[in-house]
Chain A
Amino acid sequence: MNNGFIIETHHLRKTYRVGEVDVPALRGVDLSAKPGDFLAIVGPSGSGKSTLFYIIGGLTPPTSGQVQVAGRDLASLTDAGRTRLRSRTVGFVFQKFNLLPNLTARDNIAVARHIGGGGSAPNPQFEEVLRLLGIDQRLDHKPNALSGGEQQRIAIARAIVNHPAILLADEPTGNLDTENSRAVLEILRDLNQRLGQTILMITHNPEAAAFAHHTIHMRDGRIIETT
């Protein structure tokens, strides 16, 4: 595996145990992405999008199959190894923003930088990114004082503060109005085009999927089409 791919999965399977019943979420997924790709993953609820997202992000191990992310075989990684992967190689953006409510926007970003092993000294390059995201004047506010669009932009800043190889966005516009959705999608496209950021984005929205280079369609735990 590898062949220049930053993400590569083969026959990836994941089965959840719910009580006494095995529930298959992924039934053999083969997927590959090159550095700088912007992929949208679409599909109905229960199609396995989020499970794929969690496995690539190192939040849960696969049941079987192979998965390599930035040259690392996730199937063989321990829990601590997957934790290290999340801190440096993968950045998450969630539908519900998932900012820490007790902390200011600045501290939310600082926590991620701290966990990723970054110093506390200001980074001029990142300050520029904050200006591009349009949140440089909102950093001293707590999440409850920020609009949904602002919160999602803070979440994006937090996700990329450690320069991850991959940005995983789980319905990043799901809780936003049209205007803010468009702004967030343009930011993602900008990050992809300007910084070469590899992005995997789960979405239900065809308009959002149109921002990606390719769209992967999933159903019943399998990839049924790539466009």
Chain B
Amino acid sequence: MTARLVFENLKHKPMRSLLSFLLIGVPVTLILTLVGLANGMLQDSQNRARGVGADLVVRGSTATGVVNTGPPAVSEGYVKFLTTEVPHVTQATGVVNHLVDFPVVMTGIDQEQFDRMSGGFEYVAGHQLRGPDDMLVDRLYAAQKKLQVGQTFSLMNHNWHVVGIIEGGKLARIVVQAKTLQYLDSIQGKVSQIWVKLDNPANDDAVVKDIESRTDLKVNTMEEFTDMFSVNNIHGVTEFIDVIMGIGVVIGFVTVCLSMYMSVLQRTREIGILKALGASKAFILRIILAEAVVLAAGGTAIGILMSYGAWWLIRTFVPASLPMIIMYSWWPIAGAVTLVGALLGALYPGLSAARHDAIEALAYE
């Protein structure tokens, strides 16, 4: 019977119910979009790192997390050192990273070395880097910036010639000659990191120890490096998500509180009728809380649908900058956040309704 009362009440004021669902859905969408973006961007970076085909990554001694926004700090001379002096190393190639438009990074490479290690890029159109100002862009970045082969593209106050469009999933979205990037950034002789391939991946721990004992470089196996691409390892992301979840609880609380308060006011007489029929305070409170649960559930469902809308918009307009994934595992978390907000919001109107004086409520017009 409680379900019938709740359902009929929501049906009786469809616009109020719909607006409540939409408003409650907003924080759900915010949470799911934010988490989807954070995880999507990290997963994308992880995939591109794996696509290099290396077994180790060598970085400057100050490298701590996975995101390194500082200037290149590794001497390029280590590339030769690693290939000639360190046992089991078969290939090494240094790359230069330059953050152009967060989170898009332009990466400078020695294409011959890189192709040898990774097997080369897969070209959708055009060809590999030849001239100093040549640029390769991946399919998503080309779509986002509407770039075509043969076009000149200005970035970092420099005109680049787009000579190839490549499939994504390998190293970077924008690839240029390392020498050119080093020149433009005035960092000749320095690279951001060195990718290293071994004769046998099983030797990786031994090689890591060997390199670290002989240099001041920071070395990670590819498994260690890709494991760092986690939300928990990126400073500030978890805190940001916590803030958004807090906002979600507050929005859920305020929306449901307002909606239910209005609803209780509008239904004062009906509450009086129920009390005259012998409905207990617990019964009245149960109806209000049950309505809040339905609003939270409906709001969560609409929020999930709207997160698919956000996902579609992002994929359509900024697929390269914001690679978002749908995080199914976060649906129950977003739902729980909404439910907590809704129940808190329904508590005051519910208690207020339960405390209504039956005679006054019956006289309410």
Contacts and interface: CB of A to CB of B under 8 A. Distances in A.
Given A98-B362, A100-B270, A110-B1, A83 B279 contact: yes
A110 to B, nearest CB: 6
A94 B362 contact: yes
Contact of B279 (A92, A102, A115, A158): A115
B276 A86 contact: yes
Interface string B269-283: 110111111111101
Interface string B1-36: 100110011011000000000000000000000000
Nearest to A57: B276
A115 B11 CA distance: 22
A10 to B, nearest CB: 23
A85 B277 CA distance: 10
B359 A60 contact: yes
A110 B8 CA distance: 14
A77 interface: no
Nearest to A120: B1
B358 interface: yes
B286 to A, nearest CB: 12
Contacts of B362: 94, 98
A59 B363 CA distance: 13
Contact of A83 (B4, B11, B12, B280): B280
Given A101-B12, A110-B1, A87 B274 contact: no
Interface string A76-87: 000010011111
A141 interface: no
Q: How many residues of A sit at the interface, in one of the four size bands?
A: 20 to 34
Contacts of A115: 274, 277-279, 283
Nearest to A91: B277
Contacts of B8: 102-103, 107
B77 to A, nearest CB: 80
Contacts of B358: 59-60
A112 B276 CA distance: 10
A179 to B, nearest CB: 26
Contact of B276 (A80, A98, A101, A107): A98
A217 B282 CA distance: 39
Contact of A92 (B4, B9, B276, B281): B276
Contact of A98 (B1, B9, B273, B283): B273
Could you say which of B1, B269, B278, B280 has the most chain A C-beta atoms within 10 Å of its C-beta? B278
Interface of A: 54, 57, 59-60, 80, 83-88, 92, 94, 98-103, 107, 110-112, 114-116, 120, 158
29 contacts: A57-B276, A59-B358, A60-B358, A60-B359, A83-B278, A83-B279, A83-B281, A84-B278, A86-B275, A86-B276, A87-B278, A87-B279, A88-B278, A92-B276, A94-B276, A94-B362, A98-B276, A100-B270, A100-B273, A101-B12, A102-B5, A102-B11, A102-B12, A103-B5, A112-B278, A114-B1, A115-B278, A116-B278, A158-B277
Given A102-B5, A116-B277, 6 more contacts: A54-B359, A57-B276, A59-B275, A59-B359, A87-B277, A112-B277
Pairs of residues from A and B, 7 with the lowest C-beta to C-beta distance, nearest first: A87-B278, A86-B278, A114-B1, A102-B8, A102-B12, A98-B273, A59-B358
